[in-house]
């Protein structure tokens, strides 16, 4: 998911999510103490509630999210909407809370049978499911859809799906893509067999994201752009203009086949309108003119939302991190002491304040966010010790800067130019000056910052960045962000922003990836150890785990939050 | 005259071509601006990145890239955005034009009426207490930052007094005239007023000084000597002559505003016009859209300049040697 | 001699067709002296000048105010800081304690000059101190950009007008391009490039984030507004007998330009200066509003407005104060500029930007 569009998020832990029932206007301290949610999030009803069917749901977003093509688009904004439109063979369970990380069969009849040492996945396609154009979904469509991932150069074609037999060539030369050995279908039996070159314990997740959606076999072999592709879910796209609105209407061919995988939707139409400023959008929701705002509410409206409209605010913790990648190949951060100094010095509470307060973010000092597989409470950089972060130690940080011999050096901090990022950047600039560096702040357009900080040619020393999970696996954080494979000098796509490439570090991560096939908890322990080592080397400085506020209108009911794809749009009812 | 018009046309084409080249070069001189990685998506494989580069022609040398883009814009008219893939640039601009026109036309009517009235009154009451007062009001109008005024207006009408005096003010945004004329006007009311404050100030000042000059001219003295009434002199002689520079100034301003110079007003009031389209495109560094909107804007500026020049040339032959 | 030359020059030039009132010319020692006397008699111009100097002095006292009165560092974040109000220690940035406890609100105006007179911004910094520092930068940028613009415009206008032909063709097309490139678009495009990489012209290097970047950008975008009337004026001058005579007797171009052309266009440039300063200041604030002007932690009135917009609904003072400061300064500059114009060149026009 594109990180630039996402900001706040929040996670009600599973326990709270499943037990809260009544609406409260004041925050109730929860059992885990992680989050207070204004409006209570009811457990998802087990079946469709016919009495709530109907109505028009009006959503707002500052700007459109780009192409409509589910195999190309990589923004949270549209991934959230795709949940009500497209289906893969598998899907993340569409329920509230921790259960939403569970993978369930969607267009497949059941979870796959895995054989051949984890290299072969066999599915049977569900019968009778139709696309919104009336055609039945067949195994031919499945085979074509997998091939299409490569012909349209899907963003994750190389990173997620290149393990399929024949896919590596497809990534390089999409025009001659041949997946006939990788995705084998049997029309008569209605089966699909996926062959991998090596076992991939994360395949089930990768088959559950929109890039693996099953589309009609005759979909255009290039990015469909603003032309809608027929859907399988309860809604289809009626119209799209990136300057005004995206409108979804009911898919006439849809009947519910699995309430867990793809529940029937409540509203008759769902419109996401674009163009209002977030301030104006929040006002519109307050006045009941709209039902929900995609973008996080501006800082000066938070208090109002938290008091006057507390019943309409839903806060959930995200599995994500805000962090400072430090360039291992450039002074001063090629020196471990300088990197450790940053970790000691940053007052996470101050940064949390700039983000919107303690109710909207939680200070961290581990790489893996709390509640994520492989996370173990540990904090190597907190005044007074302990396993969670309590306070910075400025004296120690200053001493480390002196010892590293980097005092007086120029340090450029690159952030995006929006309100929150820029203000955290200003705080860091002020802090680094105190530590003894000559710090300058370079706020640049949010749209280029993410690729700018990745390219080694731009010689970025330290930056403020965010990482939001693609799927719930430790490797999606540690392996993606710190392995040699993710570091390509001179390329705009080099997600290992710190530029760390350490053979031993890579080896321990590979070890954990092997262990996870057989023993998940042993693997988690290994990941925790990798996390600890990564933090002693101070590869990055983690800041906090963000939470997300969903601000809905007073008429909206049945708010459900999936930890994977956030608020479930199709499940909101307005009647 | 024909030669002059042709020369003017040649110069206009030159200006438009230079601007497109300039935008193009500035864009590709910006570090980190290569859209390939953004199009390819987060953590894209290097091979995928190369695919995208090839698909969008970003691996071609700069002149080829420029030629391709111009071909898509003018010959095939299918230039698409780098950010909203598959979205054509030209229809986006076409959709934004009515919004900008609505804003600018309404504001223009306001500022012309108010500006001309203020300028004329100031000239008529020259030497009396009202003159410096009108001048001061005009100067204040010119001196307030437009976007700041807009934000303050929003603060008052949308929040501070929204529960009482301004409860009738609709939310920000645009409603097409064809859809609901009353809402169209209501939503544009404050943007009109905000934009008009600035220009009314400018026009009042210019008109006042033009009329002061005109009132000193010989023909006015002659008229006065003949016993023509002061009011008649003011309206028939001074105002009429002074309106020529005002109209040419209006031509230039109107052209620039229709071209997207009302950017700040559109951004502050959330009006999806050409200015805001340009602003979003710049923020997203969406080159095809930037190129489209800047060329569109430059076209109007060049057009209004050329028209004003031609009118002047028709009136005053000395100007013709360019 | 110079007096008459000036008069003749301005009589027929398209940009400045009205002569300086005859009576003033006849009795005065020279055009500058006349103008000076006229301005001294112009009450609104003189009052404006006084107000302007007051603003200037107050802004120049910024370091003194910050260090000796408010005891604050307006460029350092004070996110975790506290201050004392009415005997109670309160956090500068107070987290909400009611309802869901969302959001953090900076303290509002204390109306006490010794601390947080106008309240705090989102970083916990004293807005009053930043307002004064910001004023220094806004005035500096406004004036420098206007100076740069008038200088460039003067040079281009004189060269194009005097030499005509190819020189004029090239320079005029250049002006056309800058003119037709919408001001904010040009400024934003240039800023985006320059802010990431800075600029290097020969030995002069301006780092990204330097104050001189907005000066350079604003100085360039307004050149055509000033250069065009000057070019026209010089072209008209060239037709005059005294210049024609000078060319006839074989005076060098440089000498003619220095002796006959420059003294005649100088008043026009001077007329533009205060008006351009006001315009540049407004443009700087607009650029900062679009986050491409002065870069943090530096302050200018525009950046303070921009910071304040994030707090508009809870702490409007942060936005209102710098906005009023800009408007007031622009008003006095414009009024003074009008005075100068009336004294030197009653018909010079200036376009606005919106």
Structure-token pair, residue A92 = 């993340």
The predicted pLDDT at position A371 comes to 86
Q: Is residue A244 less than 8 Å (CB to CB) from chain B?
A: yes
Cβ separation of C334 and B146 shorter than 8 Å?
no
Size of interface B-C (CB pairs under 8 A): 162
Q: What is the pLDDT of residues A392-414, one digit of tens each?
A: 999 999 999 999 999 999 999 99
The predicted pLDDT at position A385 comes to 87
CA angle C226, C228, C234 (to 5 degrees): 105
Reported as a pLDDT band with limits 50, 70 and 90, residue B2 is: confident
C interface with A, Cβ–Cβ below 8 Å: 75-77, 79-80, 93, 95-96, 98-105, 122-123, 192, 195-196, 208-209, 291, 295-297, 310-315
Q: Which residue is closest to A297 within chain C, CA to CA?
A: C103
Mean local confidence (pLDDT), A17-28: 32
The predicted pLDDT at position B232 comes to 83
Give the nearest partner residue to C354 out of B22, B213, B262, using CB atoms: B262
Q: Is residue A358 less than 8 Å (CB to CB) from chain C?
A: yes
Closest-CA distance of chain C to residue B18, Å: 7
The predicted pLDDT at position C191 comes to 65
The predicted pLDDT at position A18 comes to 28
Cβ separation of A493 and B37 shorter than 8 Å?
yes
Question: Residue C313: helix, strand or coil by DSSP?
Answer: coil
The predicted pLDDT at position C87 comes to 84
Percent of the residues in chain C that have a pLDDT greater than 90, as a whole number: 27
- CA within 13 Å, CB half, A140: 8
CA C35 to chain centre: 23
- 8 Å CB contact between C314 and C195: no
Closest-CA distance of chain C to residue B229, Å: 25
Distances (CA, A) of B219 to B222, B223, B225, B316, C337: 5, 6, 10, 20, 30
In the predicted structure, residue A520 carries a pLDDT above the cut 60:
yes
Q: Is residue B97 less than 8 Å (CB to CB) from chain A?
A: no
Reported as a pLDDT band with limits 50, 70 and 90, residue A1 is: very low
Task: With beta carbons under 8 A apart, name residues in chain B contacting C18.
Answer: 213
- CA within 13 Å, CB half, A79: 25
- A282-286, B33-37, B49-53, C290-294: segment of lowest average pLDDT: C290-294
- 8 Å CB contact between C319 and A300: no
Q: What is the pLDDT of residues C24-57, one digit of tens each?
A: 334 445 677 878 888 888 888 899 999 999 999 9
Cβ separation of C190 and B262 shorter than 8 Å?
no
What is the number of residues in chain C? 354
Cβ separation of C103 and A302 shorter than 8 Å?
yes
Q: Which residue is closest to C197 within chain A, CA to CA?
A: A458
Q: What is the pLDDT of residues B213-242, one digit of tens each?
A: 777 777 778 888 888 888 888 887 788 777
The predicted pLDDT at position B184 comes to 94
The predicted pLDDT at position B237 comes to 78
CA angle A160, A161, A165 (to 5 degrees): 145
Closest-CA distance of chain C to residue B179, Å: 28
Cβ separation of B44 and A283 shorter than 8 Å?
no
Reported as a pLDDT band with limits 50, 70 and 90, residue B318 is: low
Q: Is residue A38 less than 8 Å (CB to CB) from chain C?
A: yes
Radius of gyration of chain B (CA): 24
Q: Where are the beta strands (DSSP E) in A187-295?
A: 191-195, 235-241, 245-250, 269-274, 292-293
Q: Is residue B110 less than 8 Å (CB to CB) from chain C?
A: no
In the predicted structure, residue A10 carries a pLDDT above the cut 80:
no
Q: Which residue is closest to B81 within chain A, CA to CA?
A: A66
* Residues 6 or more apart in contact with residue B90 via CB below 8 angstroms: B73, B77, B79, B292
The predicted pLDDT at position A109 comes to 96
The predicted pLDDT at position C86 comes to 81
Q: What is the pLDDT of residues C240-268, one digit of tens each?
A: 878 878 878 888 888 888 888 888 888 88
More confident residue, C214 or A38: C214
More confident residue, B130 or C304: C304
Strands A566-567 and A410-416, by their bridges, are unpaired
Q: Secondary structure of chain C: what % helix, strand, coil (to 5)? A: 65, 5, 30
- Average pLDDT of chain A is 89
Mean local confidence (pLDDT), A259-270: 96
Report the distance separating Cα B214 and Cα B206, nearest Å. 12
Report the distance separating Cα A260 and Cα B243, nearest Å. 73
In the predicted structure, residue C5 carries a pLDDT above the cut 50:
no
Q: Is residue B322 less than 8 Å (CB to CB) from chain C?
A: yes
What is the number of residues in chain B? 322
C307 preceded by cis ω (within 30°)?
A: no
Give the domain ranges of chain B.
Answer: 94-273
The predicted pLDDT at position A103 comes to 96
Element (H, E) at B255: helix B240-256
Reported as a pLDDT band with limits 50, 70 and 90, residue B317 is: low
In the predicted structure, residue B110 carries a pLDDT above the cut 80:
yes
- Which of A26, A57, A98 minimizes the C-alpha distance to A293? A57
The predicted pLDDT at position C24 comes to 37
In the predicted structure, residue C285 carries a pLDDT above the cut 80:
yes
Which range in A1-15, A259-273, B15-29, C200-214 is most confidently predicted, on average pLDDT?
A: A259-273
Report the distance separating Cα C243 and Cα C256, nearest Å. 7
The predicted pLDDT at position A26 comes to 34
Mean local confidence (pLDDT), C162-186: 84
Buried b (16+ CB within 10 A) or exposed e, C242-272: bbeebeeeebeeeebbebbbebbbbbbbbbb
Mean local confidence (pLDDT), B67-94: 85
Mean local confidence (pLDDT), A315-323: 94
Give the nearest partner residue to B198 out of C177, C180, C354, using CB atoms: C354
Q: What is the pLDDT of residues B255-313, one digit of tens each?
A: 888 887 788 899 888 888 998 888 888 877 888 998 899 889 888 888 888 888 777 77
Strands A320-325 and A540-551, by their bridges, are antiparallel
Reported as a pLDDT band with limits 50, 70 and 90, residue A33 is: very low
Q: What is the pLDDT of residues C83-128, one digit of tens each?
A: 888 888 889 988 888 888 888 889 889 888 888 999 999 889 999 9
Task: With beta carbons under 8 A apart, name residues in chain C contacting A27.
Answer: 99-101
Q: Which CATH number applies to C137-313?
A: 1.10.3720.10
The predicted pLDDT at position C190 comes to 66
Element (H, E) at A530: helix A520-536
Give the nearest partner residue to B85 out of A66, A445, A450, using CB atoms: A66
Give the nearest partner residue to B47 out of A158, A244, A445, using CB atoms: A158
Q: Is residue A275 less than 8 Å (CB to CB) from chain C?
A: no
Q: Which homologous superfamily does the CATH classification assign to the domain defined by B94-273?
A: MetI-like (1.10.3720.10)
Give the nearest partner residue to C177 out of B15, B145, B265, using CB atoms: B15
- 8 Å CB contact between C9 and C237: yes
**Chains in contact with chain C (at least 3 beta-carbon pairs closer than 8 A):** A, B
More confident residue, A8 or B50: B50
Task: With beta carbons under 8 A apart, name residues in chain C contacting B253.
Answer: 351
Give the nearest partner residue to A426 out of C93, C105, C297, using CB atoms: C297
- 8 Å CB contact between A461 and A327: yes
Q: What is the pLDDT of residues A325-379, one digit of tens each?
A: 999 999 899 999 999 999 999 999 999 999 988 999 999 999 999 989 999 999 9
Which of C103, C107, C210 is the best substitution to test chain A (most A C-beta atoms within 10 A)?
Answer: C103
Strands A269-274 and A292-293, by their bridges, are unpaired
Residue for token pair 């960045």: A465
Q: Is residue A305 less than 8 Å (CB to CB) from chain C?
A: yes
- Which of B91, C335, B42 minimizes the C-alpha distance to A476? B42
Q: What is the pLDDT of residues A135-192, one digit of tens each?
A: 999 999 999 999 999 999 898 998 899 999 999 999 988 989 999 999 999 999 999 9
The predicted pLDDT at position A549 comes to 94
pTM: 0.86
Report the distance separating Cα C74 and Cα C300, nearest Å. 12
- A104-113, A291-300, B313-322: segment of lowest average pLDDT: B313-322
């Amino acid at each position: 998911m594109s990180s630039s569009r996402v900001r706040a998020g929040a996670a009600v832990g599973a326990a709270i999510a499943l037990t809260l029932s009544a609406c409260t206007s004041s925050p109730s301290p929860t059992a885990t103490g992680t989050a207070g949610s204004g409006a209570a999030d009811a457990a998802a009803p087990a079946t469709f509630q016919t009495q709530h069917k109907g109505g028009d749901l009006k959503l707002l977003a500052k700007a459109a999210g780009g192409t409509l093509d589910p195999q190309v688009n990589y923004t949270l904004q549209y991934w959230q909407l795709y949940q009500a439109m497209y289906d893969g063979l598998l899907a993340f369970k569409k329920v509230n809370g921790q259960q939403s990380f569970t993978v369930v069969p969607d267009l497949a009849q059941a979870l796959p049978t895995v054989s051949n040492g984890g290299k072969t996945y066999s599915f049977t396609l569900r019968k009778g499911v139709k696309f919104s154009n009336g055609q039945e979904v067949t195994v031919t469509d499945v085979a074509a859809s997998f091939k299409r991932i490569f012909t349209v150069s899907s963003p994750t074609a190389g990173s997620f799906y290149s393990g399929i037999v024949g896919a590596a060539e497809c990534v390089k030369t999409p025009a001659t893509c041949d997946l006939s050995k990788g995705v084998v279908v049997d029309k008569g039996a209605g089966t699909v067999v996926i062959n991998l070159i090596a076992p991939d314990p994360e395949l089930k997740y990768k088959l559950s994201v929109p890039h693996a959606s099953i589309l009609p076999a005759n979909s255009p072999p290039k990015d469909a752009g603003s032309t809608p592709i027929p859907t399988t879910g309860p809604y289809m796209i009626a119209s799209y203009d990136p300057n005004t609105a995206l409108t979804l209407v009911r898919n006439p061919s849809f009947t519910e086949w699995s309430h867990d995988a793809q529940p029937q939707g409540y509203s008759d139409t769902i419109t996401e309108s674009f163009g209002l400023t977030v301030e104006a959008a929040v006002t519109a929701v307050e006045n009941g003119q709209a039902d929900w705002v995609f973008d996080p509410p501006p800082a000066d409206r938070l208090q109002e939302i938290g008091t006057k409209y507390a019943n309409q605010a839903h806060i959930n913790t995200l599995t994500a991190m805000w962090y400072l990648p430090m360039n291992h190949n450039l002074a001063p951060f090629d020196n471990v002491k300088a990197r450790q100094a940053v970790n000691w010095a940053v007052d996470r509470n101050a940064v949390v304040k700039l983000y919107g307060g303690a109710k909207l973010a939680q200070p961290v000092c581990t790489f893996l966010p709390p509640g994520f597989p492989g996370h173990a409470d540990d904090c190597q950089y907190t005044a007074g010790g302990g396993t969670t972060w309590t306070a910075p130690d400025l004296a120690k940080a200053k001493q480390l800067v002196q010892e590293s011999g980097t005092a007086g050096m120029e340090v450029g901090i690159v952030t995006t130019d929006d309100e929150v990022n820029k203000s955290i950047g200003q705080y860091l600039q002020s802090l680094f000056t105190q530590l003894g560096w000559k710090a300058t702040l370079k706020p640049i357009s949010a749209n280029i910052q993410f690729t700018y900080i990745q390219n080694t040619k731009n010689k970025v020393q330290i930056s403020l960045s965010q990482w939001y999970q693609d799927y719930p696996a430790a490797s999606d954080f540690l392996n993606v962000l710190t392995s040699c494979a993710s570091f390509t000098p001179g390329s705009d796509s080099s997600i290992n922003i710190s530029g760390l490439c350490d053979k031993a570090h890579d080896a321990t991560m590979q070890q954990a990836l092997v262990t996870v096939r057989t023993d998940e908890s042993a693997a988690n322990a290994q990941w925790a150890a990798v996390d600890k080592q990564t933090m002693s080397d101070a590869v990055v400085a983690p800041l906090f785990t963000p939470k997300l506020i969903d601000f809905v209108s007073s008429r909206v009911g049945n708010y459900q939050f999936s930890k994977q794809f956030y608020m479930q749009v199709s499940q909101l009812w307005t009647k | 005259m024909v030669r002059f018009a042709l020369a003017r046309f040649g110069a206009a084409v030159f200006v438009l071509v230079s601007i497109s080249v300039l935008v193009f070069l500035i864009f590709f001189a910006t570090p980190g601006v290569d859209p390939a990685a953004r199009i390819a998506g987060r953590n894209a494989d290097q091979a995928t990145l190369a695919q995208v580069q090839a698909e969008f022609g970003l691996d071609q040398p700069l002149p080829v890239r420029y030629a391709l883009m111009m071909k898509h814009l003018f010959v095939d008219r299918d230039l698409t955005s780098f950010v909203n893939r598959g979205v054509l640039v030209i229809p986006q601009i076409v959709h934004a034009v009515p919004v900008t026109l609505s804003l600018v036309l309404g504001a223009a009517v306001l500022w012309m009426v108010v500006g001309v009235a203020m300028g004329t009154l100031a000239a008529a009451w020259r030497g009396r207490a009202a003159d410096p007062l009108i001048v001061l009001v005009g100067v204040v109008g010119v001196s307030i930052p437009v976007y700041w005024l807009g934000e303050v207006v929003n603060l008052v009408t949308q929040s501070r007094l929204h529960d009482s005096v301004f409860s009738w003010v609709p939310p920000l945004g645009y409603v097409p005239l064809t859809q609901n004329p009353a809402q169209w006007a209501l939503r544009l009311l404050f943007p009109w007023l905000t934009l008009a404050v600035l220009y009314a100030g400018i026009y009042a000042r210019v008109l006042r000084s033009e009329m002061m000059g005109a009132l000193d001219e010989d023909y006015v003295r002659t008229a006065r000597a003949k016993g023509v009434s002061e009011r008649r002199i003011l309206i028939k002689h001074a105002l009429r002559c002074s309106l020529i520079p005002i109209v040419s100034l209006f031509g230039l301003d109107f052209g620039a505003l229709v071209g997207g110079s009302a950017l700040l007003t559109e951004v502050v009031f959330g009006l999806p016009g050409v200015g805001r389209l340009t602003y979003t495109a710049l923020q997203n560094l969406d080159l095809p859209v930037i190129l489209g909107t800047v060329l569109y804007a430059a076209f109007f500026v060049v057009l209004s300049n050329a028209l004003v020049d031609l009118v002047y040339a028709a009136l005053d032959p000395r100007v013709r040697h360019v | 001699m110079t007096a008459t030359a000036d008069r003749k020059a301005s009589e027929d030039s398209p940009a400045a067709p009205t002569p300086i009132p005859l009576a003033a010319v006849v009795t005065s020692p020279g055009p500058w002296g006349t103008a000076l006397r006229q301005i001294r008699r112009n009450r609104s111009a003189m009052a404006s000048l006084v107000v302007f100097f007051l603003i200037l002095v107050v802004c120049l006292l910024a370091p003194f105010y910050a260090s000796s009165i408010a005891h604050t560092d307006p460029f350092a974040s004070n996110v975790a800081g506290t201050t004392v109000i009415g005997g109670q220690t309160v956090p500068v940035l107070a987290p909400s304690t009611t309802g869901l406890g969302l959001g953090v609100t900076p303290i509002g105006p204390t109306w006490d000059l010794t601390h947080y007179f106008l309240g705090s911004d989102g970083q916990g910094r004293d807005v009053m101190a930043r307002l004064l520092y910001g004023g220094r930068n806004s005035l500096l940028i406004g004036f420098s950009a206007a100076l740069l613009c008038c200088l460039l415009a003067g040079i281009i206008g004189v060269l194009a007008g005097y030499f005509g032909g190819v020189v004029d063709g090239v320079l005029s097309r250049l002006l056309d391009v800058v003119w037709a490139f919408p001001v904010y678009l040009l400024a934003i495009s240039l800023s985006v490039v320059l802010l990431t990489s800075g600029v290097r012209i020969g030995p002069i290097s301006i780092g990204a984030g330097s104050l001189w970047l907005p000066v350079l950008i604003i100085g360039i975008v307004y050149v055509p507004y000033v250069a065009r009337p000057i070019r026209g004026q010089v072209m008209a001058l060239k037709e005059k007998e005294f210049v024609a005579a000078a060319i006839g007797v074989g005076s060098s171009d440089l000498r003619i330009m220095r002796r006959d052309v420059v003294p005649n266009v100088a008043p026009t440039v001077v007329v533009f200066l205060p008006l351009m300063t006001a315009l540049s200041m407004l443009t700087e604030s607009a650029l900062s509003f679009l986050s491409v002007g002065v870069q943090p932690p530096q302050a200018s009135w525009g950046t303070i407005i921009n910071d304040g917009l994030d707090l508009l609904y809870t702490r409007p003072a942060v936005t209102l104060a710098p906005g009023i400061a800009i408007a007031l300064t622009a008003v006095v500059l414009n009024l003074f500029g009008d005075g100068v114009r009336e004294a030197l060149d009653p018909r010079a026009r200036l376009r606005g930007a919106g």
